[in-house]
Amino acid sequence: MKHIIYICVLCFLLNFIIPTTETFCDDGQTNIEIDLHGESDWKCLKTSWSLNNITKSPPSKKCYPLQGGSHVCIDNVIDSLYPKDVIPNSGPHRTVWAVYGEHKYVPPGRFVHNLEHGGVVFLYHPCAPVHLIETLRNVAKTCTWKHVFAAYRNLTQEFPLAVLMYGCVYKMNRINSTDISNWVRARAKKSPEDDNRQGGYNHSLIELSLPPVIHEKQEFCPAVPEPTPTPTPTPRTDEAIWAVGSLVFICAILIAAVCYTKLWRSKPGYDNSGAKLWHDGNAGGSMSVAAVVRKLPHMMKSKMKNTRSAASSSFYTRIEDNLSSSEEEL
């Protein structure tokens, strides 16, 4: 009896130590052709639809009962396991999910697994109007790094575009990016295995999407605020305001300086060496305004030298500072 127990314990332990030879299931590279149907998966084999051919209608948004997410190995057909009338959005899937980014085509067996991990799948019919495809691509890229963007021929002319999240399908024939963003945000991070792991299936990958450095900061489909047209002053009016402002400022200083100097001169005991400047080439101090303007900087400098020690020197210093700073501005 004791021996039997020993043997059982040994068998139990060996079961953990020696790995059981597992049969190959799926690596995302081997025998993947079982899920592919050639060019028709991603190429429009007729003429593309023009927008006029597609009657505008509100988007169709639906969520479906979740199907169990069992893994289906690559030697078994998977497409036929999905209901015919619905774009696959949950249920059985391949072991290896698609690398995030733009692909020519991603089989449903791959993208359903992406959905399970919280990815957002953007699909377009290969014959959808080119500018709708372009717009949807931009929505996908700005929405989340965890996007799969690819062609899907089982979409219809009525709704040639679709966005999928786990268990839900949003079909459309016109793009309202605000509405898509709201719809995605409402379902973000609710899938059973939400994580930030990159996929492994990269057959017909066009552009890889990489995770951001800081995952926590990532917001799904951030709401894009509508640009509100605010009347901004054009550079020209700005310049004009500056020019007029500077002119008024300088005039004010000139007037103040002239008045102040005249008052100063009329004071008894005024230093005549400074007064000489006023009379240079002028009879009786009746100087023209232009001459005053021309001479003022020199006058002020020499006056400053004369009156540095005086109590009023700070006034001149201030004027000179103002003058030089307004010169710089000009």
Which residues contribute to the site for ligand NAG (CB under 6 A)?
A: 49-50, 52-53, 79-80, 84, 108, 154, 176, 178-179, 182, 202, 205
Residue closer to ligand NAG (CB basis): 171 or 303: 171
What does the angle CA 98 – CA 104 – CA 108 come to, to the nearest 5 degrees?
45
All residues at 6 or more sequence positions from 80 whose CB lies less than 8 Å from its CB, including other chains: none
Please, what is the minimum distance in Å from the beta carbon of residue 218 to ligand NAG?
22
Please, what is the minimum distance in Å from the beta carbon of residue 136 to ligand NAG?
15
Please, what is the minimum distance in Å from the beta carbon of residue 56 to ligand NAG?
10
Distance CA 180, CA 168 (A): 12
Distance CA 73, CA 95 (A): 7
Please, what is the minimum distance in Å from the beta carbon of residue 247 to ligand NAG?
50
Residue closer to ligand NAG (CB basis): 180 or 287: 180
Residue closer to ligand NAG (CB basis): 21 or 50: 50
Residue closer to ligand NAG (CB basis): 82 or 316: 82
Contact 64, 89 (CB under 8 A): yes
Please, what is the minimum distance in Å from the beta carbon of residue 329 to ligand NAG?
48
Distance CA 31, CA 209 (A): 25
- Of 47, 284, 324, 100, which Cα lies nearest the Cα of 210? 100
Please, what is the minimum distance in Å from the beta carbon of residue 155 to ligand NAG?
10
Distance CA 12, CA 114 (A): 36
Tell me the Cα Rg of the chain: 40
Q: What is the dihedral of CA 178, 183, 184, 186, to 10 degrees?
A: 120
In the chain, which ranges are E strands? 60-63, 101-105, 120-124, 147-151, 161-165, 168-172, 205-208
Residue closer to ligand NAG (CB basis): 179 or 320: 179
Residue closer to ligand NAG (CB basis): 55 or 309: 55
